[in-house]
Structure 1
Amino acid sequence: MKKSDILIEEDDLTDGQIVSILEEHLKDMFANSPAESVHALDTQALKQPNITFYSFKYSGKTLGCVAIKTHSETVAEIKSMRTINEARGQGVATRLLNYVMNQATIKGYTSLHLETGSMAFFKPARDLYLRHGFTECGPFADYQSDPNSIFMTHKRSH
């Protein structure tokens, strides 16, 4: 993947490619988790003012996405991290995670949290987060303890 052909930018969630990616994301979440344990947001929910949504495009094709949800001046959460199936294993998720972690630093967040599934389907995501310095923690924000969820955090100091 040529770096010059990669574009990660804020997205208004109106492009058909990004809507399809988010629909696929929700479908996979419900296929791999009990409904009460699915915390993925739909397109409309991702348009909340406290959420900044980013898309990853390569040569004009959308390959992935990620969002930051603000909880306070210093605490944010990663939401809707997704790479399309055909782009898996090409570094898209790593680039998205590095980008969103950098954005969190720029915005002044000292804690970046996330929730992911505890099932085998989510192991690649958990491994990615662990490689980037995330550690398991307890539930945060409005989340409740759930055997189907793993909560992770990444603390930064300024």
Structure 2
Amino acid sequence: MCFLGVSPDDVTFVGVLTTCSYNGMVDQGIEFFESMKYKYQVEPGIEHYACMVDLLGRADKVNKAMKLIEKMPIEPDAIVWGSLLGACRTHMKLDLAEVAVEKLAQLEPKNAGPYVLLSHMYATKGRWSDVKVLRGKIKARSVIKLPGCSWIEVEKKVHMFTGGDNKGHLE
């Protein structure tokens, strides 16, 4: 792009940072992120920070991702905290997972997903008392885990199945 005289914009950088993240190109991703503002006059937005948290998290640099979140000039959203939580799950960083779940609970109080993920992490580590405490929090906050669902088309009819269902019904 630069060779053709076209300057990258904020959308371009989301693509570049995502590519770096998925390909383990941590140093290059950091370099691109840092060049956004100073070289290309593109102010990093929440989506760029989310990409960087994902990039660092995938590379097992979860503590560095947390430091980035703490230094963000804008308030982290659920996507940023969700990226951190996903990295914590992958690398079993329970201390930071707990922080991410609390932040997500503030942003999305009825979303059961973060609680379920943290509960599974506790169970994996054999921390059954923590599982019990967390389930108590879920119940006290009236958080409901919606069942998973899927659809299938059979003979030009769409059938929906939900977790716990023993038969599908037309959607």
Q: TM-score, normalised by structure 1?
A: 0.32
Of Structure 1 and Structure 2, which has the larger fraction of its residues in strand? Answer: 1
Query: Whose helix proportion is higher, 1 or 2?
Result: 2
